[in-house]
Copies of this chain bind each other. A is one copy, B any other.
Amino acid sequence: MNIRIFITGGTFDKEYNELNGQLYFKDSHLPEMLELGRNLAPVEIRTLMMIDSLEMTEDDRNLIAEHCMKSPEEKIIITHGTDTMAETATLLSEKIKDKTIVITGAMIPYKFGSSDGLFNLGSALAFVQTLPAGVYIAMNGRIFNAKNVRKNKLTGVFEEISEDQKSLS
């Protein structure tokens, strides 16, 4: 039973443009990362978009949801920028109930030697194989339920929303 990987861009795949000194997107590094990890889990990769998640529109999110629904695989990994990862997780969790979807990303671009991307990808592949149907975020060794996670803008770290905060929001 294959695992589907949908690529949407994010820090994972940022490159350095040496002509203008800006970061930009070219091709995804996912295949290279899976090769480095010598991955033997059966995966199928498809790039849906290559964008910074701050620029992700509602249309983009609906497109991702559609692909998740139509895909024959029941286990899906989505690589995604961290800034709006929680928003996408929320939308997917409302629309899709019968698949295991794990969203992951990186704090540092893969092309930087010091990226957390390979670690996160390894954990996402493990989580997607073992968790029951649901939408999750896998970052930095932890797993969060889509309904209970946010990115702390100050620390850059994903955290659970406490009961108090949920009742306030």
Contacts and interface: CB of A to CB of B under 8 A. Distances in A.
B119 A37 contact: yes
Contact of A39 (B18, B37, B113, B119): B119
Interface residues of A, number: 49
Q: How many copies does the complex hold?
A: 4
A153 to B, nearest CB: 8
A21 B16 contact: no
A111 interface: yes
Contacts of A143: 126, 129-130
A132 B119 CA distance: 22
A125 to B, nearest CB: 5
Nearest to A129: B143
B121 A36 contact: no
